Amino acid sequence: MISYSFEDLVKKFKVEYHAGGSTQNSVKVAQWMIQKPHKAATFFGCIGKDKFGEILKTKAEEAHVDAHYYEQTEQPTGTCAACITGDNRSLVANLAAANCYKKEKHLDLEENWKLVEKAKVFYIAGFFLTVSPESILKVATHASEKNKVFSLNLSAPFISQFFKEPMMKVMPYVDVLYGNETEAATFAREQGFETEDIKEIARKTQALLKANEKRQRIVIFTQGKDNTIVATADKVMSFPVLEIEQSEIVDTNGAGDAFVGGKLK
């Protein structure tokens, strides 16, 4: 077994840097699809005051994303090495500063909250429920009160399992919910839906308590190459996924995030 540090990977291999993280991936794709005006998409997150933080700021700028980071010194900037060999990939993440976001030190600041008030559509990955659920609730309630679109992603099965309470506090404010088939199945079990049928899971999730009744919740569950399921207040729909030759797939890393980015646009 060979072990490499992030520094070793940079020295030994050709490395490409990207402004990553689940939510930032989606925001970046949304901005790419919008094209102009530049910086139509704004991102909040947390980084360290270090080399990787500077690289992240540069890459976000190159992607024309209006990134406003909370910069702190407790932890270094989070990193994730995506190692791609042929059709295979391996991800090694060090969350670090990503776990250090503070509502009172960033979101609550007047200059940052003005950006929230200016926005019309919000998207937050479920991963952030492990960091600052109070920040999510503040943005979610604002969106509900102002009749703006608030979107959330189930993100991973463990979120529905171990962060069920903060997730369900946010759920009444969710206008659009995303997830894949595995995340949907775990959510259903945790909610006691007593069904493994993904269409029925989508229907039951759509019908959960909703704060802003002016906007009926939309639930979108992807299933890889299989049909994407969409539930609205009126019906549950199934959309086929366009087949792509395996040889034409460059990289599956961030595919789910890119899907969301396309919908946000």
Catalytic sites, residue numbers: 257
Q: Is 245 exposed, middle or buried (0-12, 13-18, 19+ CB in 10 A)?
A: exposed
**Would you say 226 and 198 are in contact if contact means Cβ atoms under 8 Å apart?**
no
Q: How far apart are CA 28 and CA 121, in angstroms?
A: 14
Q: How far apart are CA 137 and CA 255, in angstroms?
A: 27
**Would you say 22 and 258 are in contact if contact means Cβ atoms under 8 Å apart?**
no
Write the single-letter amino acid at 216: Q
**Would you say 173 and 149 are in contact if contact means Cβ atoms under 8 Å apart?**
no
Q: How far apart are CA 142 and CA 23, in angstroms?
A: 19
The reply to whether omega before 37 is within 30° of 0 (cis) is yes
Write the single-letter amino acid at 226: D
* 99-127 burial: b if 16+ Cβ within 10 Å, else e: ebbbbeebbeeeeeeeebeebebbbbbbb
